[in-house]
Homo-oligomer: A and B are copies of this chain.
Amino acid sequence: MERLLIIGGVAAGTKVAAKAKRENPDLEVTVLTREEYVSYAGCGLPYFIGDVIKDKNEIIIKTPESLKKELDINILTLHEVLKIIPEEKKVIAINKVNDEKVEIMYDKLVIATGASPVIPEIPGISLKRIFTLRTVSDALVIKSLIDAGRVKRALIVGGGFIGLEMAENLYRRGIEVTIIEHSKYILPGFDPEIALIAQKYLAKKGIKILTEEKVISFNGNEKGEVTSVITDKRSIETDFVLWSAGVKPNIELAKDAGIEIGETGAIRVNEYLETSIEDIYGVGDCVEMRHLITGKPVWYPMGSTANKMGRVAAINVAHSEKKEIFSGVLGTAIIKLFELKAAKTGLTEKEALKEGYEVETVLVPSNDLSHYYPGNKTIIIKMIADRKTHRILGAQIIGEGVIDKPIDIIVTAMSLKARIEDLAKMDFAYAPPFSMAMSSVIVTSNVMLNKLYGKLHGISPMQLKDKLEEDIQILDTRSEAEFVVSSIPNSINIPFDQLRHRALELDKEKETVIVCKIGKRAYLAYITLKKLGFKNIKILDGGITAYPFDLV
């Protein structure tokens, strides 16, 4: 009987175990995990803490008992692996309960050791009530502390996905939340204009966000509990800290065994998910993957990717012939922040420029449903394309409307190497409760095509912000009523339908930026001014709706 040994029992590890057993019931499958719990939904932990998910058993998908009973899989929990000895096809582990050493032989080994939070060595970091959140055990401790009413003010270090999801969930528990982020914007992996929209939204909700600020040290009380954090700018009192500034792949075991580590710092695997040593596979958060756009190795630890990799590795280890391949990822991610949602896939504008593409971008507000159907909400799509091939390089979507549908449409299109022209003609499902007649993805693609074919020139909010001090004229074509509510500093209001008669009020020679609510009236004004001989005109991408800077 062939022996399959798996190190790691969360998403990827248990997926390999269960699928391999279904593929080949004759396999002897053993899972070693240093944790107490297996097969849990790590991504659900913030919602468990926030009481959105009431019972911890809801996020524990399988127990060792159920995996044994249903699939005859052996799970050894609280077993820390000390060493992999590939020459002898053997793994040495220690039972953390009784400190006994065990040696387990394998025919095939799968490394699914996951990732861990990066914790810096700064003064006070070992104080009580400074947490990271990665495992069920972490979540149980944090939740019991909150349930006991002992957290009033929480400080979150790191404005990435876990930090932001925890911000929402702590806030929901009645806790005052401050986020400290060392970079200029929260939401790493997003372009600034999108991140800024999220930042403004969270601030309005009452979450304090401090960017470009660095934690120096922590102070504690006599019980050894954290009481304040010292940053490079100030001191902040707190009774709870979540350190969520980065994670790193758990590669030590693999490295010690002589397995090749990739340039991203994660374990290198080929498309069959084999490591550099025969009969040893790697899956999940501890391995790197290929980026489907650039072809380069990247490291995006994601539960969804772990599951897919687990299935691929399982099929390959379960049969004598390996067949399944895992071709790569787009770096897709999505987050809910109260009613706001943000998603990304592929390259950001910055990354695309760095990769040397001839980049074109659009920023298009639209509705998720028909504008006349109740409950419709605005979303803003930023799309990044390659001018040469018209291929989609990336997209980011933000708004209170439905964003997971358009991002997944774009993911599908990008994976299949679609051009913008393809995307603009898709026969999407349309009825008023589900979509606009021209769906948001189609509208966005059409604006992109207008740009790619030179029908209009745009200027991004970031570029306009930088030009505000220069000698340009900003023409706001909205109605007077809209204009008086809020407008970009120093802009001139000529409502679109008066433009033909009042164009003389403008200077034909000056660089002119046209602004409206979302871009439609600006496009009409653009055509009018072009016909009137204006040379240097641009439309503000995304209009006032997507402009994340100060209005007057």
Contacts and interface: CB of A to CB of B under 8 A. Distances in A.
Contacts of A407: 429
Given A308-B442, A405-B408, A430 B372 contact: no
A359 interface: no
A431 B334 contact: yes
Contacts of A531: 25
Interface in A339-385: 341, 343, 345, 370, 372-374
Contact of A524 (B71, B412, B429, B438): B71
- Which of A70, A416, A496, A527 has the most B CB atoms < 10 Å from its CB? A416
Interface string A452-465: 00010000000000
Interface string A423-452: 111111111111101110010001000000
A396 to B, nearest CB: 11
Given A311-B446, A370-B44, A373-B44, A305 B427 contact: yes
A418 interface: yes
A438 B304 contact: yes
Contact of A434 (B334, B417, B431): B334
Interface stretch (A214-222, A258-266, A325-333): A325-333
A74 to B, nearest CB: 17
Nearest to A326: B425
Contacts of A418: 412, 416
Given A71-B524, A404-B405, A52 B336 contact: no
A63 to B, nearest CB: 13
A479 interface: no
Nearest to A308: B425
Contacts of A373: 44, 47, 52-53
A524 B22 contact: yes
Contacts of A327: 425
A71 B408 CA distance: 35
A432 B304 contact: no
A25 B446 CA distance: 19
- Which of A23, A41, A71 has the most B CB atoms < 10 Å from its CB? A41
Contacts of A326: 425
A497 interface: yes
A94 interface: no
B427 A329 contact: yes
B429 A411 contact: yes
A438 B335 contact: no
A292 interface: yes
A43 interface: yes
A551 interface: no
A73 B43 CA distance: 54
In the complex, the 6 A-B pairs of residues with the closest C-beta atoms, listed nearest first = A304-B430, A334-B429, A416-B416, A58-B372, A412-B412, A405-B405
22 contacts: A22-B523, A23-B455, A25-B527, A41-B437, A43-B430, A43-B431, A44-B370, A47-B432, A52-B373, A53-B373, A70-B497, A165-B431, A302-B430, A308-B425, A308-B438, A332-B427, A336-B434, A402-B405, A408-B426, A409-B409, A409-B412, A411-B428
